[in-house]
Amino acid sequence: MGHDYDIIIIGAGPGGIFSAYELCQNAPGLKIAVFEAGHALKQRKCPIDGDKIKSCIGCKTCSIMSGFGGAGAFSDGKYNITNDFGGSLHKYIGKQRALALMHYVDTINLKFGGEGTKLYSTAGSQFKKQCIQYDLHLLDASVRHLGTDINYQVLGNLNRFLEDKVEFHFDSPVDAVSVTEGGYTITSGQKSYTCDKCIISVGRSGSNWMEHICKDLGIATNSNRVDIGVRVELPAEVFSHITDELYESKILYCTQKYGDMVRTFCMNPRGAVVTENTNGIITVNGHSYEDPEKHTENTNFALLVAKHFSEPFKDSNGYGESIARLSNMLGGGVIVQRFGDLIRGRRSTPARIEEAFVTPTLKATPGDLSLVLPKRILDGIIEMIYALDKIAPGTANDDTLLYGVEVKFYNMEVDVDRNLESCHKGLYIIGDGSGITHSLSHASASGVYVAGKILEGMGLPHP
Ligand SMILES: Cc1cc2nc3c(=O)[nH]c(=O)nc-3n(C[C@H](O)[C@H](O)[C@H](O)COP(=O)(O)OP(=O)(O)OC[C@H]3O[C@@H](n4cnc5c(N)ncnc54)[C@H](O)[C@@H]3O)c2cc1C
pLDDT in tens, 234-243: 999 999 999 9
Among 150, 216, 440, which is best to mutate for testing ligand 1, by the most ligand atoms less than 8 A from CB?
440
Instruction: Give the mean pLDDT of 437-460.
Output: 96
**Nearest residue CA, atom 20 of ligand 1?**
440
Confidence tier at 403 by pLDDT (50, 70, 90)? very high
Q: What span, in angstroms and rounded, lies between the C-alpha atoms of 169 and 9?
A: 10
- Judged by average pLDDT, the poorest of 22-36, 75-89, 418-432 is 75-89
Beta-strand pair 221-222/413-414: antiparallel
pLDDT in tens, 383-395: 999 999 999 999 9
- Residue 148 CA, ligand 1 centroid: distance in Å: 14
* Ligand 1 closest atom vs CA 65: 53
Q: What is the pLDDT of residue 276?
A: 85
- Residue 193 CA, ligand 1 centroid: distance in Å: 24
Of 36-50, 301-315, 445-459, the range with the highest mean pLDDT is 445-459
Q: What is the pLDDT of residue 123?
A: 84
* Ligand 1 closest atom vs CA 287: 3
- Judged by average pLDDT, the poorest of 135-139, 214-218, 219-223, 275-279 is 275-279
- Judged by average pLDDT, the poorest of 56-65, 293-302, 451-460 is 56-65
Q: What is the pLDDT of residue 293?
A: 92
- Residue 180 CA, ligand 1 centroid: distance in Å: 29
- Residue 440 CA, ligand 1 centroid: distance in Å: 8
For residue 421, list its beta bridge partners: 428
Among 151, 184, 202, which is best to mutate for testing ligand 1, by the most ligand atoms less than 8 A from CB?
202
Higher pLDDT, 333 or 346: 346
Confidence tier at 61 by pLDDT (50, 70, 90)? confident
Question: Nearest 5 degrees, angle CA 369-CA 374-CA 378?
Answer: 60
Q: Is residue 228 predicted with pLDDT exceeding 70? A: yes
Q: Is residue 106 predicted with pLDDT exceeding 90? A: yes
Q: What span, in angstroms and rounded, lies between the C-alpha atoms of 208 and 121?
A: 36
Q: What span, in angstroms and rounded, lies between the C-alpha atoms of 316 and 227?
A: 9
- Residue 444 CA, ligand 1 centroid: distance in Å: 10
Amino acid (one-letter) located at 37: A
User: For residue 259, how many other CB atoms are within 10 A of its CB?
Assistant: 8
* Ligand 1 closest atom vs CA 188: 42
Say whether pTM exceeds 0.95.
Answer: no
- Residue 371 CA, ligand 1 centroid: distance in Å: 31
Q: Is residue 199 predicted with pLDDT exceeding 70? A: yes
Q: What is the pLDDT of residue 33?
A: 98
What's the chain's average pLDDT? 93
For residue 34, list its beta bridge partners: 9, 168
Q: What is the pLDDT of residue 310?
A: 80
Among 62, 80, 143, 204, which is best to mutate for testing ligand 1, by the most ligand atoms less than 8 A from CB?
204
Q: What is the pLDDT of residue 194?
A: 97
Q: Is residue 305 predicted with pLDDT exceeding 90? A: yes
Among 9, 432, 441, which is best to mutate for testing ligand 1, by the most ligand atoms less than 8 A from CB?
432
Q: What is the pLDDT of residue 3?
A: 94
**Nearest residue CA, atom 1 of ligand 1?**
75
- Residue 203 CA, ligand 1 centroid: distance in Å: 5
pLDDT in tens, 34-48: 999 999 999 999 887
Ligand 1 neighbours, Cβ below 6 Å, are 10-16, 35-38, 66-67, 70-72, 75-78, 80, 86, 173-174, 201-206, 209, 276, 285, 431-433, 438-441, 443
- Residue 127 CA, ligand 1 centroid: distance in Å: 31
- Judged by average pLDDT, the poorest of 86-90, 165-169, 278-282 is 278-282
- Residue 195 CA, ligand 1 centroid: distance in Å: 24
Q: Is residue 451 predicted with pLDDT exceeding 80? A: yes
- Residue 99 CA, ligand 1 centroid: distance in Å: 20
End-to-end CA distance of the chain: 31
In the chain, % of residues over pLDDT 70: 99
Q: What is the pLDDT of residue 286?
A: 92
Residue pair 100/69 in contact by the 8 Å Cβ criterion: no
Where is 313: in which H helix or E strand? Answer: none
- Residue 116 CA, ligand 1 centroid: distance in Å: 25
**Nearest residue CA, atom 33 of ligand 1?**
11
Q: Is residue 1 predicted with pLDDT exceeding 70? A: no
Burial (CB count within 10 angstroms: exposed 0-12, middle 13-18, buried 19+), residue 439: buried
**Nearest residue CA, atom 12 of ligand 1?**
439
- Residue 461 CA, ligand 1 centroid: distance in Å: 29
